[in-house]
Structure formats: C-alpha cells, structure tokens
Structure 1
Amino acid sequence: MPGGLVALLDDISIIARTAAASIDDIGVAASKAGTKAAGVVIDDAAVTPSYVTGLSPARELPIIWSITKGSFKNKLLILLPGALILSEFLPSAIIFILMLGGCYLSYEGAEKVIEKLGGEKHGETLEDPIEDPVAFEKGRVSGAIRTDLILSAEIMAITLNEVAAEDLFVRAGVLAVVGLLITIVVYGAVALIVKMDDVGLHLAQRSSVAAQKIGKFLLAAMPKLLVALSFIGTIAMLWVGGGILIHGLHEIGLHNLSDFSHGLQHGVEELTGGLGGILGWLTYAIISAIVGLIAGGVIVFILHKVFKLGHETGAHG
C-alpha cells in the first residue's frame, strides 16, 4: 500500500511538472504570437470607435460592451474550436476562409469610401433621420461584431501559424490566451478613447488651472480624434483586407502580386536608408489598401448593381 501511494504521488508530480511546462510553453508562444498579430490589433482598435461615433454618449459604453461580448464569442466559441479542427483535419482550408474574410473587409472599406465620395448609401447612416434608434443600434453592433469576426480570424490564424508545430493542448491554450488578452486590450482602449471627452469635462470643471486646460484640450480634441479614427478604420479595413488577399494568392501559387508588392517594399527600404523600415512598411500597406479598394469596389458593384443587394439597415455611419 505505501509503495502504491508513493508511485501514485510520483505519477502526480510528473503530471504536474508536465502541465507546468505546457503552461510555460503557452505563455511563451502566446507572447510571440501576440507580437506578430499587433498590426491587426491596431486595425481592430481603429475600426471599432467608428461604430459609436455620433451616437448618444450614454449608449457608448453599453454598445462597446455588447461588441466586446460578441468578440469573446467570436474568438472562443467560433474561431478557437474551428481553428483547432481545421488545423487537425483540413489545414489547407484555412487560407481560403481567410481570403473570404479579406474580401468582406475589402467590401466594407470600399463601400464606405464610395459613400463618402458621394455614391449611393446602403442602410441608415448618421446623416439620415433615425426612425428606430434601438434597431439602428443593434445594426451597428451586428456590423461591428461581423467586422471583429474577420479581424479576429486573422489574429487567430497568425497565432495558429506561430504554434503550428505544438501539440493540440498548447495550440488551444495559446489561442485562448491571445484571444482573451487581445479582446480586453482592444476594447478597453476603445472604451477609454470614446469616454475621454467625459474625462475632459470633469477636468474642465476642476478648480486647478492646469486641470482646466487639459480638460478643455481633451474636449476640443476628442471629437476630431474620433472622426480621424473612423477614417483610419476605413483605411484599415482596406489595408488588412487587401493584405490578406495578397498573402492568400501567394499561398495558393499565384505569386505575381505578392512578388511585386514585396519587391517594391524592399526597393523602398534600400533607397531610403534609416527610414527604410517605416517607408517600406508604408509602401506595402498602401499597395494592400489599393488592392483592397479594387477588390472591394468590384464586390460592391456586383452586390449592389448586379444583384441589387446591400439595403440592410444600420451597418454604416
């Protein structure tokens, strides 16, 4: 009996050490994957404030919380199990799913550009009289969650690619950790951004002259920042969508566009010396955005002009 107990305790200690090592592996891999996904995280943070721009301040945090809950569901209930199943049984399908997401982001971004340039609007916008505020808000939340699903899929795909050689437990742990942390960081930052004008108002009412100056600055700056983020969010949709398409075409054997884009990027890097890294990255981002705009414009034309679709309520602003 004592021998059996010792053997059992020894087995438990081995299992515990193995679990601890796996947890350590998850932490290291999650850190690396999170760094690689940073660009998409920035895009996500830029896109989301556009969904609350112009709405009642009292509804800003509830809307962001609704989007946050939708993002958690996207990552943990849809994308995590889907990514694990595909990575185990059909890894070649992941790139095609990502390309569909790239097409959707390109479509969303191109549609917004066309509307801003005076093209036909689809669904209610903030410039229109809103007859049903509740339905309009639900439409905005749904639109944000759909966009989050695509951006989250890209984040999860980047993460999965970083841990493709790990076992199933580590892959699942890394995807869960990255999904949770990125959602908290992104939507925490978004909540802070959209409520910064309330902070400014509070500071402007303080007796301190310095606090009043900071408060007035925030009150004056935040509306402009939100408009700027709405613009950046649109560009981000095109940039990320186009980038996914360029990468996807390369992965399926169509290299010309990728070779041209990276060739131009490397050429700019070599010609611009110390600024090469930034300007090279910017060059590739611009090419990606142009590809996204062209692809999205084609999809807009097909859906709205050929099939006469796209009159769904409440997705735009």
Structure 2
Amino acid sequence: MSKFDIEISEVGPRDGLQSIAPIMTTADKKRWIKALADSGIPEIEVGSFVPAKVLPQLADTAEITQFAKTIPDLTVAVLVPNLRGAEGAIAAGADKITIPLSVSETHSLKNVRRTHEQMLQEVREIRALIDTLPVAERPKFEGGLSTCFGCTLEGNVPEDKVVRIAEALMEAGCDEVGLSDTTGFGSPLQVRRLTQKVWDAVGKQNLTGIHLHNTRGQGLANALAAVEVGLTTVDASMGGIGGCPFAPGASGNIITEDLVFLLESMGLKTGINFERMMIAREILQQALPGNIELYGFTPDAGLPKGFAMATPQF
C-alpha cells in the first residue's frame, strides 16, 4: 500500500491509445507521460509489448518504457500477451508486467489467439524467466482477469470460473491478479461479490486492483464499490479514451479526472495535483492525432468554489 489512500494507475498511454487509429508521435507520448507523472500519478501503464503489425500505435513501447524509467518515483507498467512480450518488457526495464487472461475463452482466442491452457503455459514460462533475475530486478507480475464481469462474445461469465482462473494464474506463477471489466458489463454488486470470492480463493493481499470501463455508464459507480469493499488500486484513462479493440462495443475507460475528484471529495488522498493534471490533459488534447474527443465532467465544470483536495496541493 502506498502512502496515499487510493492509487490511481493511468492506462491511457496503453489502453487509451491502442483504440485510436491515428498514431501519436513518440515525442508527444513522452511529453504526456512526463506531465502525468509530474501531476503525482504514481503508476502509468505506458504501452504493450505486442507486434507492431497488430497495434502499430504501440510500436514504440520499448523506447517509451526506457524513457519512463528515467522519471523518479514512477512505477512503469506494461501489458504483455506472451513470453516474447515479457522478454521485451524486462529488457526495457518495466517495473510491472500484466498478462491478460480472458476468462471468456472466446475472447482469449480473439484477443491473444490462445486457449486458457496455452496462456497459463505462457505464465509459467514468464515466471521462470523472471526467476532468473536478481530479486531486486524482478518486475511485479500480474495476471489480469479480463472479461470477468461478462463478455460481448459469450455473454454471462460464471463467477466460479473467474475464481478458478484466478487460482490457476497464481499457481502458474503470478504475484497477484487483477479484476478487469473489459466490456463494461459490471455492476457495483458484482464488483463487491466477485472481489470477495477471489479474496477467499487467493488471499486479500493477492488482489488489490481493478480495471473498469464506462461503456454503459457504470464506471464510477463500480469504482466506488471497489473502493468501499477495500480494493486500493483503480485503473483509469485521461479523458476516458480507450477500450478493447477485440471486444465489440467495449469503448471508454473510466475518466481519470472525474475519478480523482470523486475520491478526493470523499476525503481520500490520491497524491494527485489537480492543476498539474489539467496541464497533462491539455498536452494530451494537443497531441492526439485527428479529431479525437476527450471526455470528463470535472474538467469542463472545474472544481467547486472553496473545494479543498484531500491531497495537499504542491
């Protein structure tokens, strides 16, 4: 647990940009990531180690990772689909790597072209690779439970299946698991219930974070439920950009700016400076290729008169 009450992990440079067809320049990505870190965001998912032909928007992830590692006190996170991606992430110096395992096997075949057992074998091989490193150089290894609240391709995803996959990921060598509402199906009731079920199976210390989408307008409600039940890390994307390109209709991450205001209005410290976060938003808006719209109620309305952030503003 960090020194703040809730840790926000900014996923815009990965989950946001992967869903936007035009490619942001490497220089602009670096400016944006630096501004995000300067606002106090403690963890940024800077990209994904996938073949450039699959996601050309993220072809510069190795360079971006190496740059982000020069920023003091920033946890540099990346997504990897397999052992080859993990090799690239480790070579670039990532602090945290996440491998997504879709509980919906149909989505897994669409997303990473692998069955559950094939993905678990990738996890075992990545674990073996990490274990060859000195302890101080080993990245944190997370298994992301994608589509765990429902799937646009399969529909309902049984919660007992989510629990079994969580157990399998831990047994295969992950340090922790994370819940992911890839398709925006989740409800606050599901968030509370599924969090508790996975905790009961793998231990509370091995599930601390959640990744939410706002596809059906429930993103902040689900984030609130996650915080109330006791999760301490919430993923979000500046301006609400992003979504899964392999899940039809799964657009829209929860908006970082609105999430910060929600948490701070509850007296929860996020460590984020609001004015500097707005500077990062301006950089993003200027750097986005094409006519890409940014979302967010708080950026449009501003902070209420007399509002005091729970986090001391530096």
Q: With structure 1 as the length reference, what TM-score do the two structures score?
A: 0.24
- Return the structure number with greater strand share: 2
Larger radius of gyration: 1
- Return the structure number with greater helix share: 1
